[in-house]
Structure 1
Amino acid sequence: MTFKGLDALLKFLLTSDKPNFKPSFNKFVSKHEDDFIEWHTTPKTPEELERLWSNRFRKECKRLEKKGKMGTTNYRSNYWKRISQRITLRYKEDMALMRHEEQVLETQNVLVDALNKRLRERATKHCERSDSSYTPSDEDSDTSRSSKFPSSWSISDYCISDMLNKFRNDCVKKYNHGEAMTRDELLTLNYTYLFSADGGRDCRAFIQLPEYVKRTLADELDQDDEFVFLDRSSKELCNEIEELMLLYPTHVPDQLDDIFQAVKDKAKETGLVIKVLKAIVAQYANRPDFTAMDEDVFSDTAFKPFFHTIVSSVPYCSRDGQFTQLDRRLQLRPDAMLSTTTNKNETLRCLVAEVKAPNRSSNGDFLKLAFEMKCALDTMIDHHVDNPYSLGIQVEGFTVRTYRMDLLYDHIYRMIHLRTFYLPRSAADFGVIKSAICSLLQVRKLLEELIKNIKSSRAPHPIADERKSWRRPTIFVPDQKY
């Protein structure tokens, strides 16, 4: 069992070089009195702290086979009282900050509603006095263009934005009270809402939507945008390679090059598929042992043959390694990242990826990915990119999920799950390749469209300025706890 403060406790128990060292619980509490407020996020009484940490101390001593006499509870009571008071004070400060933010947002909503009401009244009076022969000017055209992007997300007469805001307010209260939260609830702290492919395990599970809204929502999310199936020649080639690898699982078949060349001469559009298959066969013919691989080796063997060949080969796109920061202000380093430059030679992040090997825990990768996608999207909006969105890929062992995040409505960051596909587990598992190629081709086309939007963005326009006001700060930063 792990807990915050375990490293400090182990260091205290193991750093003494005295032969008959007896660890003192009193010394440990005294030495780390200032650290306890960082190890606890919810208030605890001195008695609770005494029971919790004395139990942890005894267990670690026993586990490390270090026997020693414990100090008395009375001696430590003053420490626990001070620590408890400081933890409670920190908790109250955090709650006060959250309440202040809620009050600020409520005030902003009231002001915006009042302003919108005055604008509607003014527009109604203007329409009553308007001339039927009126011809719109260029300025009015910009206003008309902006009206196509309503600030609230509604389907027919049903306002989805209101339901999502109510859901977020409930999540903020749960977070303030220290209650257990799902990943979908934690996302809402940053105004981010997950929409999965099947609609069963996302934010829609927490809100009540009418049936007609649910039916329309699938088209609204546009999860099939730019998705196409492989052409007939590419499918036949994938099937043929799958059969060959079943017959020759330990080495590359001699006739493989002849097959690739014959298909390439017959159908030139299969060139990208041929490159992917060549890269995969070269890796899997060596019968890799994925159970013994760390994150980097697994990524090079199973994921990068797909990713580098299909996605990161997009024109005007540069690939950044895992040691490149997402933003100079943030200590965030995605496992993979694709960027492009604006006409002013400013770098914008377009796609981020998080990779975990099959034998590693990936509990916090999804929240980290969502955080990184939001940061990338906010930067694009700050640079007035037309139709901005960010892309994300999460590799969780052999399972891969692709995402797109946009900000089409006021303070509603939609994290849309596009596809789920699988990486081959061995040379005998090449049947999953077709789905993997199709899913990543969708990401490639979305990336090409995004780079085109970035390159074509010039001067700021009303829509871009309005979208900048829709952004919201990133309040919740995921850590190792999640």
Structure 2
Amino acid sequence: MWMVEDRNVTDTLHLLRKEIARRNEKLEQLTDVELLVLDHIYFFAREHQDSVPGFERAVHRQIIEHIPLMSRKKNPMQFLVRWSNTIAEVEFPSWENIKKITSAFLNEANESRDLNQVIAADIIYSLAPRLMQPQRANMLEDTFAHRYLDAILEAIFGSAPQLSCDWANGSLLRYKVQQKQQESNDSSNEDDAEETQEKPVINSTVFKPDWVVYAAAGPALSAVGILELKVDYKRNPNYMTDFVKLAKEMKLILHQLIHAGVQEPIVCGILIEGNRFETFAMDLTYDGIYRLLRLGKVRLCTTLREFSLFPAVFMDIMTVKDIALKTATSVEKCHCARQLGQATTGRTPISWLRPSAGLIQRVD
């Protein structure tokens, strides 16, 4: 049971879900955060107005302070602020002088022998010249990913041997939604009714995240994080938004890790909608309570003039990397224990899992 001070958070969330389910049955309009509650996913952000409803502002602050991932302080990297400001302040940028400036950053980073500096310098060296290209109004997602994201993701996650990452072109996550069949009006034969319930109609729903980071342990790759990308934020009121889709995908990955016996797994997520850049984590620390935590919310730099935004983006992705590494380490320990025929300790009880709510659509 989740207790914060003298507040029973578990009971409050259960009451909230009961009320939202009642409203949903009446076909009332629900927000994205409320839709996720139907799936036992409870969203918490530092901003009270964005978080799951049902808590006073003071209680919300206590909850945020109670969650270690949310209370973590970010230490600014002064070298990165200096480098980024230097790039943003170049008056007449050209490919040649940008390369000369960023080459100096690489030399400085190599001399420091600080891995974070080397990673940051490598990203800036590759990314800054790309930001000189003119922006197009109708840029394709593949072009957007190559120009603004590839250099960042590849350097940060590629620098860790425990991780591997790739843009996902095919179906990655699949789950089955069981649709209850209507019971026969003729209830005289109870055996037939039970047999009907034991053979539900099965519909398969496939999720395809845009990018995946894996734990490179054992012969099979285990997903530990995903990214969803939308170049232009176009909200269709009748279908699942990328925010909801990301959360449901993270829940499915969490289920896969828990079923595999991974100890205290945490799944990470990145959501990019235009130049809005958000990072998330999801855990299952309490029975039936999937906590979706927003770790950061910044703007993505898409021009050289905006390069002063890069340190915030870099630090938020490094936080995601730390989470992915922690889960990848747990995956590796679980794999080694299985090879030795040993039972893993500290496993999340399977009874804590809740089935997915299936496809979520809005009502007009």
User: What TM bracket, shorter-length normalisation?
Assistant: 0.7 to 0.9
Structure 2 SS opposite 1:292: coil
Equivalent positions of 1:351-370 (< 5 A) are 351-358=225-232, 360-361=234-235, 364-370=241-247
Query: What is the Cα deviation at residue 438 of structure 1?
Result: 1.0
Distance between the aligned counterparts of 1:314 and 1:479, measured in 2?
38
Equivalent positions of 1:119-130 (< 5 A) are none
Find the counterpart in structure 2 of residue 92 from structure 1.
none
1:280 and 1:341, CA in 2 relative to 1: closer, same or farther beyond 3 A? Answer: closer
Q: Indicate whether 1:469 and 2:344 are aligned.
A: no
Equivalent positions of 1:76-225 (< 5 A) are 152-203=1-52, 206-209=53-56, 211=58, 213-224=59-70
- For residues 127-173 of structure 1, the C-alpha deviation after alignment (integer angstroms, 9 at most, x for no partner) is xxxxxxxxxxxxxxxxxxxxxxxxx1112332100000010011111
TM-score (norm 2): 0.81
Structure 2 SS opposite 1:405: strand
Which one-letter code corresponds to 1:398 in the other structure?
N
Structure 2 SS opposite 1:353: strand
1:431 and 1:235, CA in 2 relative to 1: closer, same or farther beyond 3 A? Answer: closer
Structure 2 SS opposite 1:395: strand
TM-score (norm 1): 0.62
Alignment match of 1:407 (pick from 284, 287, 304) = 284
Alignment match of 2:330 (pick from 448, 453, 458) = 453
Structure showing greater radius of gyration is 1
The structure that is strand-richer by fraction is 2
Alignment match of 2:208 (pick from 311, 333, 346) = 333
Q: Indicate whether 1:348 and 2:232 are aligned.
A: no
- For residues 426-454 of structure 1, the C-alpha deviation after alignment (integer angstroms, 9 at most, x for no partner) is 22111101111111111111111111111
CA contact (8 A) 2:44 2:294 kept: yes
CA contact (8 A) 1:423 1:436 kept: yes
Q: Identity over the aligned pairs, expressed in percent?
A: 21
Alignment match of 1:318 (pick from 142, 146, 164) = 164
Find the counterpart in structure 1 of residue 142 from structure 2.
296
CA contact (8 A) 1:364 1:481 kept: no
Structure 1 SS opposite 2:21: helix
Distance between the aligned counterparts of 2:299 and 2:44, measured in 1?
20
Q: Report which structure shows greater RCO (CA 8 Å, sep ≥6).
A: 2
Distance between the aligned counterparts of 1:364 and 1:378, measured in 2?
21
Structure 1 SS opposite 2:168: coil
Which one-letter code corresponds to 2:208 in the other structure?
R
Distance between the aligned counterparts of 1:382 and 1:372, measured in 2?
16
Count of aligned pairs between the two proteins:
323
Unaligned runs of 5+ in 2: 176-204
Query: What is the Cα deviation at residue 396 of structure 1?
Result: 0.6
Unaligned runs of 5+ in 1: 1-151
Query: What is the Cα deviation at residue 481 of structure 1?
Result: 7.8
Find the counterpart in structure 1 of residue 307 from structure 2.
430
Q: Indicate whether 1:273 and 2:124 are aligned.
A: no
- For residues 313-363 of structure 1, the C-alpha deviation after alignment (integer angstroms, 9 at most, x for no partner) is 4323222333232235441110111112444x3332111110011364477
RMSD between aligned residues: 2.4
1:481 and 1:452, CA in 2 relative to 1: closer, same or farther beyond 3 A? Answer: farther
CA contact (8 A) 2:87 2:304 kept: no
Distance between the aligned counterparts of 1:346 and 1:257, measured in 2?
38
